[in-house]
Amino acid sequence: MKTLERYIIRRTVYAFTLTIAAMTGVVWATQALRQLDLVTSKGQTIVQFIGITMLALPFLIVIVAPFALMIALILVLNALSGDSELIVIDASGGSRFLVLKPVMIFSVVVLALTGTMALYVAPLGLAQLRTEITRVRADLVANIVKPGRFITVENGLTFHIRNRSGNGTLDGLLLHDTRDEETAFTYQAETGQIVEASERTLLVMQNGTIQRRPKQDGDISIVRFQSYAFDLSNLIPEAGEPVFKASERTTANLMVPGRNDAYALKNPDKLAQELHERFSQPLYCIAFGLIVFAFLGKARTTRQGRGAAVLGAICSCVLLRTTGFGVTAIAGASSAVLALLYVVPITGAALALISIFREQTSAEPKWLTNLQLKIQDLIDGLSDRLNGRRTGGAA
C-alpha cells in the first residue's frame, strides 16, 4: 500500500471511529431510555441495565455505519481539498483513482463490518435482549407491586409498599392475606427484599410484625420479628419461551425455519424481507463511498464551491437511504419488490461510478460549474452579512 493510501485510510479510520461512536451513542441512549423503567423496576444495578441495553448495539451499528462512513469521507476529502492536497495530486499528474482506491478499500472494510453485524452479531444480540425482556416482564415485583398503591395480586392477597429503592429493597411493606378460610394475616415490615433460593422465590421481610386475626370471633395476636420469609413461588408467573421476531432470528433460521414454528408459518413474508434486508444493507457502504467521492474527490478551488459539493453528497446519500427505507416499508413476499432492496444501493453506486468516469475523461459541464459558482456566491454573501452583523453588534 502506497504512502498516500495509508495516509488517507489513517485519517478516515480516525474520523469514522469518532463519528460512529458519537452517532451510535446517541441512538443507543434514546433506545435505552425506552427500557429504563422496565429494567430498573426489577432493582437491577446500572451495570446490569447497561449490559442488557447494550445487546441492541450491533443492530444500531448496522443502521449507523453507512452514515458514519459518509461523514468520515466528507471530512477527510473536504480537508484534503481545503489543504490543496488534491490540487497537488492533480497538478503532479496523479489520477483521481489514487484517491479513490483507499476510499474504496475502507468502504469495503466497513461493508465487511456491517455485514458481520447484520448477518450474525445483531440477531444474536436482539434475541438475547428479547429473552431478558421476557424474563423481566414475568417478574411479580416489576409489574404488579407499585409504590404508593394497594395492589391485589390474587383474591385475598394485597400488597402495598411505600417506596422501592434502586437496589430492589421494598420500604414500608404491608401485606394483607385473607386466603385462609379461618384466619386473616397482616404483615408489616420496615423493609423487604425479593430473594431467589433453592428454586423458590421468597419475600424476606425485616423488622416487622404479623397480625393474626380470626375471621370469626377471637382476639388479635401480634408477633414481632426481625426477619421473616414469605413464599411467593406460587404467585410468580412462569416466564414462557419468548417469541422471536424476524429481526431476532439467526440468518440460518430465516433461511430454513422450523416446521412447527408458529411465527414463521404465520409470517413467511416478514422472514423473507428480513433475510434480504440483511444482505442488502451493507451495500450502502459502497454506494455512500462512491457518492461522496463523486462529489468531493475532484480537486476544486475555493471559488468552485466545496460547500455545494458537500451539500450535494449529503443530500444524495440521505435520499438514497430514504428510498431504501421506503422500499423496506412496502416490501412483502413479492420477489419483485424484494429485488428493489438490492437495486436501490446498486443503482446509487452505478450512477456514482458513471459520474466519476465521466469527469475523469471529460471536463465538467459548464452549466454545473456556473451553478456551483452561483451557490458559492450566495453562501459567501450570507456569510458576509452575518459577519457584518456580528461586527456591528460587537461595536
My answer on whether 227 and 250 are in the same domain is no
**Residue 27, domain member (yes or no):** yes
pLDDT of residue 287: 94
My answer on whether 97 and 69 are in the same domain is yes
**Residue 61, domain member (yes or no):** yes
Task: Say what the pTM is.
Answer: 0.69
Could you tell me how many helices (H) and strands (E) the chain has, helices first?
15, 7
**Residue 393, domain member (yes or no):** no
Report d(CA 316, CA 292) in Å as an integer. Answer: 9
My answer on whether 130 and 153 are in the same domain is no
My answer on whether 154 and 128 are in the same domain is no
pLDDT of residue 64: 93
Give the residue-averaged pLDDT of 353-358: 85
Give the residue-averaged pLDDT of 79-107: 79
Instruction: State the pLDDT confidence band at 350, using cuts at 50, 70 and 90.
Output: very high
pLDDT of 134 above 90: no
pLDDT of 255 above 60: yes
My answer on whether 175 and 202 are in the same domain is yes
My answer on whether 170 and 224 are in the same domain is yes
pLDDT of 333 above 70: no
Number of domain units in the chain: 2
**Residue 213, domain member (yes or no):** yes
**Residue 197, domain member (yes or no):** yes
pLDDT of residue 88: 76
Give the residue-averaged pLDDT of 105-134: 89
pLDDT of 395 above 60: no
Contacts of 147 (CB under 8 A, 6+ apart): 161, 162, 163, 164
pLDDT of residue 196: 74
Contacts of 287 (CB under 8 A, 6+ apart): 66, 317, 320, 345, 346, 348, 349, 352
Report d(CA 177, CA 157) in Å as an integer. Answer: 5
**Residue 306, domain member (yes or no):** yes
Which of 215, 235, 255 corresponds to the end of one domain? 235
pLDDT in tens, 151-162: 777 778 888 888
Which of 218, 235, 252 corresponds to the end of one domain? 235
User: Which comes out higher in pLDDT, residue 301 or 323?
Assistant: 323
My answer on whether 61 and 169 are in the same domain is no
pLDDT of 239 above 80: no
My answer on whether 201 and 312 are in the same domain is no
Give the residue-averaged pLDDT of 350-362: 78
pLDDT of 40 above 80: no
Which of 182, 203, 235 corresponds to the end of one domain? 235
pLDDT, the chain, mean = 80
pLDDT of 73 above 80: yes
State the residue range of the domain holding 380: 3-137+244-385
Instruction: State the pLDDT confidence band at 67, using cuts at 50, 70 and 90.
Output: very high
My answer on whether 130 and 150 are in the same domain is no
My answer on whether 130 and 263 are in the same domain is yes
**Residue 62, domain member (yes or no):** yes
List beta partners, residue 204.
Answer: 193, 229
**Residue 207, domain member (yes or no):** yes
Quick one: angle between helices 122-137 and 57-82, nearest 10? 140
My answer on whether 371 and 222 are in the same domain is no
Percent share of the chain, pLDDT over 90: 26
pLDDT of 371 above 90: no
My answer on whether 276 and 366 are in the same domain is yes
pLDDT in tens, 142-185: 555 677 878 777 778 888 888 877 676 888 988 888 888 888 99
pLDDT of residue 144: 57
pLDDT of 346 above 90: yes
